[in-house]
Amino acid sequence: MTSELKIEEFIIREFLLYILYTSEINGGEIEVAGEIIYLNVMDRLTLEGEGDVWETDLKKGVPSISQEAKRAILNGKMPSLMKLKVQSGEDSFFFVIDSRTLDLKSLKIPAVAIKEPDIKLEQRMFYIETIYIILESMFKEFYKIRVNEDNWLAFVNEVKTWAKEF
């Protein structure tokens, strides 16, 4: 019998909102596992909610700071898909994260200039492990906020204040 961890999609959407908001404050700088990294939502952001227009799909430009994105958030829509750049030291990672599956799509890791196949594979696996460690650490920080009612309400109010700034 296999057991698979099941996280409700709304929690993943709240995590994506945390990433979106964090990418917009302090220049996207965040400390993760004792290391400073930079987050940047790239040219793809989908927000979903309920109502007549249940999906807002933003492409090109900087969708995270657009009036449309902020308006969608104020109307109760939550991120469901986003393209993200994570900068860790000299290394840049690009990927699309989907709230339905928690999959990282189109993952681009730093180039590996090593020619030896075994070492090159090992380095590529190291980079893949690195991005998952970063995301896991970010989720742990989000979780600390989410499980404390006072902290969560303060975070929600910060996001609302930020979203009202057009």
Under a CB-based contact definition with an 8 Å cutoff, are residues 44 and 62 in contact? no
Write down the pLDDT at residue 50. Answer: 75
Q: Which band of pLDDT confidence, cut at 50, 70 and 90, is reported for residue 20? A: very high
- Does 166 map to a domain? no
Domain interval for residue 99: 9-161
- pLDDT tens readout for residues 142-163: 999 999 999 999 999 999 999 9
At position 10, the amino acid (one-letter code) is F
Q: Which two tokens stand for residue 164?
A: 């009202």
Mean pLDDT lowest among 6-15, 18-27, 76-85, 139-148: 6-15
In a domain, 57, yes or no: yes
Q: Is residue 2 assigned to a domain?
A: no
Residue in 53, 49, 115, 45 with CA at minimum distance from that of residue 76: 49
Give me the residue label for tokens 């339905």.
100
- CA–CA gap between residue 88 and residue 61 (Å, rounded): 23
| 140 found inside a domain | yes
Element (H, E) at 91: strand 91-98
To the nearest whole number, what is the mean pLDDT of the chain?
Answer: 89
Average pLDDT over residues 77-89: 94
Count of structural domains, the chain = 1
Give 165's DSSP letter: -
pLDDT reading at 166 higher than 80: no
**The overall pTM is greater than 0.75:** yes
In a domain, 3, yes or no: no
Residue 4 maps to a domain: no
The sign one gets for the Cα dihedral 22, 45, 16, 72 is positive
For residue 78, being part of any structural domain is answered with yes
Between the alpha carbon of residue 139 and those of residues 12, 133, 147, the distances in Å are 9, 10, 12
DSSP strand pairing (35-48 vs 104-108) = unpaired
